[in-house]
C-alpha cells in the first residue's frame, strides 16, 4: 500500500445496495485504498431485507424474502462473503452458502377458474445446469432473438402435450414439411406452408413452430413480414383448436394461457422489431405489460389469468397500491420474466434457512468488520448539503459539502454498538435494540423510542460530517421513498432529481407470519411445501416456511409456519404526516389479516375453518404460552400473538416500475456531483425492478463509479438487452 491517505467513503444505508458497495470497496485487491463507514438508521442492517429475532427466537421479517435462481450478482457476492468468513461447521450450523440457501423448485399459482372457485396450479420446475453465482464469466448473454426462440420452444413443448386423434396425427405428419438445411430452404418451407394454409392438424402446427424457432435462433437476418404473417397463421390455427376445449378443461385452459401469452410476446417482438432495436426491451417501457400483450393479440382471459396476475403480484405492481390499477413497464416486465424462467440456475427459487438478516446481513457485517469497515448505528440522515454554487470555481462540478444526521442514541463509553446476538451458535440480529449498550437505555426503552420509525424524531444530538474532514466520497444508499426527506437541497436545485422523485413512485406493503400447531396437511394442504402467488388480496402471495421451525427456540416446535405478503393500498400524502399514522396502518393490516384468515385462506387450506365456520384460532401458537396454561386467550384474541407489519416507513416502501418512469431513474454511474453516487433498487442499474438482484447490481455499480471495480462486464445482466 502507498503512503497516500485512504479515501474516506461514507455509505448512508445498510441495505443490500449499501453493504454490497462496502463489500466491493473493501476488497483486499484495493489494498486499503478506501476507508468505509456505513451510517445506519436504528440498530440493524438490512433495509427492506432486515429481520430480527423476537420471543422464542422467532424470525420476524420485513416481508416474504425468496431469492431467484437468476440472481447471479447477489449469489456471487454472497458466496464470496461466506468463503471469506470461513465459519466452522462444527460450531455454526450455517457455515457455508449451501447451508444458508436451499433449492425450492415447487411453485404454484392461485387460479380463479370459470367455475368461480379458487384452485391451485402447481408445478415442480426442473433444475437448470450450474448454480447461481458460479465463478467465472460463463453466464450466457442472451439476445432477444434467443429469448424469442426459447419461447417458441416452450410453446411447441406445451402444444405437444395436447392429445389429438391418431388419424389426424398421422395425416398431419404426412403433410408436415421435411427437415430444413440452408436458410433458403427454411424460408421456402415457411412460405410453402403459408401459401397452402396447411395448418389443419397439431402435427403441422408443431412443425411450423419448429420452423419459426429455427428462423429466430439461427438466421442473422430474416424477412420480418414473412415471420409475422407466419406467426399469425400459426396463432390462428392454435386458437381455433384450443377455443372450445379450454371452456371445460382447466388443464388445457392453463396451458393455453401460457401459450397465448408467449405467442403475443413473440408477435410483439416482431411487430416492434425488438430483435434489431438497439434499445432492446427498453423500447417498449412506455407501455404497461398488459396493455402491450393486448396490443399483440393476447386474449382477455390470458391477460387477467393467474400467470400474468402473479407477475404483477410478485413485484407489487399496482400504482398507489390499488389492485384495480396494475401497471408495470412492458420492457422490464419481459426482461424480468425471461431471466426468471430461462436464465435461472440450480432452482427457480432459493429459500433461506433462517431470517434474511441472519443469512445475508450478519455474514456481511462480520466480513466487513474484519476488513476494517466501521458501522455507525443510530444515525438518521436529515440532509445532504450541497456546496454553495456561488463558491464553485469555473468548471468545478457541484459536490456534497456535508451530511447532516440526527444521532438517535449514544453508546455507553463512546464505543461501537455491538449489534448481533447468539442464537445457538448463529450470529443473528435482534428484533429490538440492546438498550443495555445505550446511554440512558432504560429510559429509552421505557419511553418506547422507535428508532426505525420515520415519525419518531427524538434524538440524542445532531452530527454534521464535513467533506475533507469526515468523508471524501458519499454513496447515498437509502430507500427510494426516503429521497424527498433527506435530499431537499438536491431536489430544490436539480430538476432531474425532482422529476425522478415525481416519476419513480413507491408503494407500502403488508406482511403476515403465523405459527401453528396444526400441520399443513391437517389444514388441508396436501402437496409439498410451496410458494404460491396470484391469490386474492389482502394477501396474494403465500410461502410455506415450516422449515424454519428448527431455527427458532420454541418450548415445542410449530407444526407449520406460513408467510404472506401483498401490496398495501396507499393513502394521500397529507394523511401520512400525522404522528398516529403508523399505528393506524398497523391496526389496518391487523384487520386485513383477520379478515383474510376468516374469509380467504380456506380456498388454499380447506380444513382451516372450524365447525362454526370461523378460522381455527386455537391452532395459533403463542411464544409466551406454556403447555397447559392459557396465554393468548380464546378465539380471535389469539391472533395478537402472531407477527404482522405495515411497511409504511419511507425507507420501507417498495419501488415501482411504472410505464414511462424508467428513463427518469438516476444511474450510480452518473457523475453530475463530484463526490456523490447513489445505490439502490430505485436507481438505473440495468435491471430496474425492486428486488435483491437490482440492489446488489446497483451497489456494484456504485463501487465501480468510485474505484473502477468491478468491471462493468463482471456485473452480470448490466448490459442485458
pLDDT for the residue 166: 47
Cβ atoms of residues 624 and 55 within 8 Å? yes
pLDDT for the residue 171: 45
Give the model's confidence band at 136: pLDDT under 50 very low, under 70 low, under 90 confident, else very high.
confident
Q: Quick one: which of 593, 594, 513 has its CA closest to 549?
A: 513
Q: Is the peptide bond before 188 cis (omega within 30 degrees of 0)?
A: no
pLDDT for the residue 197: 61
**What is the number of other CB atoms lying within 10 angstroms of the CB of residue 102?**
13
In DSSP terms, 380 is beta-bridged to 406
In angstroms, the CA 430 to CA 377 distance is: 14
Terminal Cα-to-Cα distance of the chain (whole angstroms): 40
Cell readout for 541 is 402471495
pLDDT for the residue 632: 57
Determine what percent of the chain is predicted with pLDDT higher than 90: 81
If one compares 707 and 211, the residue with the highest pLDDT of the two is 707
pLDDT for the residue 188: 78
What contacts 24+ positions apart, CB below 8 Å, involve 466-469? 466/401, 466/402, 467/399, 467/400, 467/401, 467/402, 467/675
Q: Quick one: which of 268, 193, 184, 176 has its CA closest to 219?
A: 184
Task: Give pLDDT tens digits for 391-413.
Answer: 999 989 999 999 999 999 999 99
Task: Give pLDDT tens digits for 591-603.
Answer: 999 999 999 999 9
pLDDT for the residue 627: 62
Q: Going from the N-terminus, what domains does the chain have, and what CATH number goes with each?
A: 7-55+66-100+352-502+660-714 (3.50.50.60), 135-344 (no CATH), 509-647 (no CATH)
In angstroms, the CA 475 to CA 712 distance is: 18
Task: Give pLDDT tens digits for 510-540.
Answer: 999 999 999 999 999 999 999 999 999 999 9
If one compares 654 and 214, the residue with the highest pLDDT of the two is 654
In angstroms, the CA 72 to CA 696 distance is: 10
DSSP-assigned letter for residue 192? H
Strands in 79-237 per DSSP E = 101-104, 106-112, 118-124
In angstroms, the CA 329 to CA 324 distance is: 16
If one compares 260 and 218, the residue with the highest pLDDT of the two is 260
- Characterize the bridge pairing of strands 541-544 and 560-567: antiparallel
DSSP-assigned letter for residue 329? B
Q: Say whether pLDDT at 199 is over 70.
A: no
Least confident stretch, 20-24, 29-33, 123-127, 676-680: 123-127
**What is the number of other CB atoms lying within 10 angstroms of the CB of residue 370?**
11
DSSP sequence for 198-219: ---SHHHHHHHHHHHHHHHHH-
If one compares 220 and 427, the residue with the highest pLDDT of the two is 427
Q: Say whether pLDDT at 211 is over 90.
A: no
pLDDT for the residue 324: 96
In angstroms, the CA 662 to CA 690 distance is: 12
In DSSP terms, 426 is beta-bridged to 423
**Contacts for 321 with CB less than 8 Å, ≥ 6 apart:** 507, 508, 567, 568, 569, 570
Average pLDDT, the chain: 93
Task: Give pLDDT tens digits for 299-330.
Answer: 999 999 999 999 999 999 999 999 999 999 99
Go through the chain and tell me how many residues it has. Answer: 721
DSSP reduced 3-state for 542: strand
**Contacts for 123 with CB less than 8 Å, ≥ 6 apart:** 106, 107, 108
In angstroms, the CA 329 to CA 81 distance is: 34
Burial of 64 (0-12, 13-18, 19+ CB in 10 A): buried
Q: Which helix (H) or strand (E) holds 379?
A: strand 379-386
Give the model's confidence band at 168: pLDDT under 50 very low, under 70 low, under 90 confident, else very high.
very low
Give the model's confidence band at 175: pLDDT under 50 very low, under 70 low, under 90 confident, else very high.
very low
Q: Say whether pLDDT at 630 is over 70.
A: no
pLDDT for the residue 161: 82
In angstroms, the CA 296 to CA 108 distance is: 26
In angstroms, the CA 426 to CA 345 distance is: 28
If one compares 429 and 205, the residue with the highest pLDDT of the two is 429
Task: Give pLDDT tens digits for 597-621.
Answer: 999 999 999 999 999 999 999 999 9
In angstroms, the CA 337 to CA 315 distance is: 11
Amino acid at each position: 500500500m502507498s503512503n497516500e491517505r485512504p479515501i474516506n467513503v461514507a455509505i448512508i444505508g445498510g441495505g443490500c445496495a449499501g453493504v454490497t458497495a462496502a463489500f466491493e470497496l473493501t476488497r483486499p485487491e484495493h489494498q486499503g485504498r478506501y476507508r468505509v463507514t456505513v451510517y445506519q438508521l436504528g440498530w440493524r442492517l438490512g433495509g427492506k431485507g432486515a429481520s430480527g429475532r423476537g420471543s422464542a427466537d422467532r424470525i420476524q421479517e420485513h416481508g416474504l424474502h425468496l431469492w431467484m435462481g437468476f440472481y447471479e450478482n447477489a449469489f456471487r457476492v454472497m458466496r464470496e462473503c461466506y468463503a471469506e468468513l470461513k465459519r466452522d461447521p462444527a460450531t455454526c450450523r450455517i457455515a457455508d452458502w449451501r447451508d444458508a440457501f436451499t433449492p425450492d423448485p415447487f411453485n404454484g399459482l392461485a387460479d380463479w377458474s370459470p367455475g368461480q372457485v379458487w384452485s391451485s396450479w402447481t408445478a415442480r420446475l426442473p433444475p437448470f445446469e450450474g448454480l447461481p453465482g458460479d465463478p467465472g464469466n460463463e453466464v450466457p448473454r442472451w439476445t432477444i432473438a434467443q429469448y424469442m426462440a426459447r419461447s417458441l420452444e416452450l410453446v411447441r413443448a406445451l402444444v405437444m402435450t395436447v392429445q389429438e386423434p391418431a388419424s389426424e396425427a398421422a395425416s398431419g405428419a404426412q403433410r408436415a414439411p421435411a427437415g430444413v438445411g440452408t436458410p433458403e430452404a427454411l424460408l421456402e418451407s415457411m412460405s410453402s406452408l403459408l401459401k397452402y394454409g396447411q395448418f389443419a392438424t397439431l402435427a403441422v402446427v408443431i412443425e411450423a413452430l419448429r420452423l419459426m424457432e429455427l428462423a429466430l435462433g439461427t438466421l442473422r437476418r430474416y424477412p420480418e413480414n414473412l415471420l409475422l404473417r407466419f406467426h399469425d397463421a400459426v396463432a390462428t390455427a392454435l386458437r381455433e383448436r384450443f377455443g372450445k376445449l379450454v371452456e371445460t378443461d382447466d388443464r388445457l385452459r392453463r396451458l393455453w394461457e401460457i401459450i397465448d401469452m408467449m405467442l403475443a410476446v413473440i408477435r410483439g417482438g416482431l411487430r416492434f422489431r425488438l430483435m434489431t432495436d438497439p434499445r432492446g426491451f427498453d423500447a417498449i417501457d412506455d407501455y404497461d405489460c398488459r396493455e402491450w400483450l393486448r396490443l399483440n393479440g393476447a386474449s382477455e382471459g390470458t391477460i387477467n389469468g393467474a400467470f400474468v396476475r402473479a407477475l404483477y403480484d410478485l413485484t407489487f405492481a399496482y400504482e398507489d397500491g390499488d389492485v384495480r390499477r396494475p401497471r408495470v413497464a412492458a420492457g422490464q416486465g419481459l426482461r424480468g420474466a425471461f431471466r426468471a424462467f430461462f436464465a435461472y440456475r440450480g432452482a427457480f427459487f432459493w429459500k433461506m434457512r433462517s431470517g434474511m438478516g441472519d443469512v445475508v446481513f450478519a455474514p456481511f457485517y462480520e466480513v466487513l468488520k474484519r476488513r476494517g469497515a466501521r458501522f455507525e448505528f443510530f444515525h438518521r440522515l436529515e440532509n445532504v448539503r450541497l456546496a454553495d454554487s456561488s463558491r464553485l470555481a469555473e468548471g468545478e462540478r457541484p459536490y456534497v459539502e456535508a451530511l447532516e444526521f440526527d444521532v438517535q442514541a449514544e453508546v455507553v463509553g463512546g464505543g461501537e454498538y455491538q449489534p448481533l446476538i447468539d442464537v445457538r451458535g448463529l450470529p443473528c440480529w435482534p428484533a429490538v435494540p440492546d438498550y443495555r449498550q445505550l446511554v440512558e437505555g432504560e429510559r429509552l426503552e421505557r419511553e418506547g423510542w422507535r428508532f426505525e420509525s420515520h415519525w419518531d424524531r427524538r434524538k440524542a444530538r445532531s452530527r454534521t460530517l464535513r467533506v475533507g474532514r469526515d468523508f471524501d466520497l458519499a454513496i447515498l444508499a437509502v430507500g427510494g421513498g426516503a429521497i424527498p426527506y433527506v435530499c431537499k437541497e438536491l431536489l430544490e436545485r436539480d430538476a432531474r432529481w425532482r422529476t425522478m422523485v415525481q416519476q419513480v413512485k413507491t408503494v407500502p406493503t403488508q406482511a403476515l407470519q403465523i405459527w401453528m400447531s396444526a400441520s399443513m396437511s391437517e389444514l388441508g394442504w396436501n402437496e409439498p411445501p410451496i410458494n404460491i402467488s396470484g391469490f386474492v388480496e389482502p394477501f396474494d402471495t403465500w410461502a410455506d416456511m415450516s422449515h424454519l421451525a428448527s431455527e427458532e427456540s420454541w418450548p415445542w416446535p410449530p407444526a407449520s409456519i406460513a408467510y404472506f405478503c401483498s401490496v398495501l393500498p396507499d393513502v394521500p400524502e397529507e394523511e401520512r404526516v400525522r404522528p398516529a399514522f403508523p399505528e393506524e396502518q398497523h391496526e389496518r393490516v391487523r384487520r386485513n389479516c383477520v379478515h383474510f384468515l376468516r374469509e380467504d385462506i380456506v380456498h388454499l387450506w380447506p380444513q382451516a375453518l372450524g365447525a362454526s365456520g370461523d378460522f381455527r384460532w386455537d391452532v395459533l401458537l403463542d411464544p409466551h404460552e406454556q403447555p397447559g396454561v392459557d396465554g393468548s386467550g380464546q378465539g380471535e384474541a389469539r391472533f395478537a400473538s402472531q407477527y404482522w407489519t405495515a411497511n409504511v416507513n419511507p425507507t420501507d416502501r417498495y419501488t415501482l416500475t411504472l410505464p414511462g418512469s424508467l428513463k427518469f431513474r438516476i444511474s450510480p454511474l452518473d457523475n453530475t456531483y463530484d463526490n456523490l453516487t447513489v445505490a439502490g433498487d430505485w436507481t438505473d442499474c440495468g435491471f430496474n425492478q425492486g428486488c435483491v438482484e437490482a440492489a446488489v447490481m446497483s451497489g456494484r455499480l456504485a463501487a465501480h463509479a468510485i474505484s473502477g471495480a468491478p468491471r462493468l462486464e463482471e456485473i452480470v445482466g448490466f448490459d442485458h438487452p
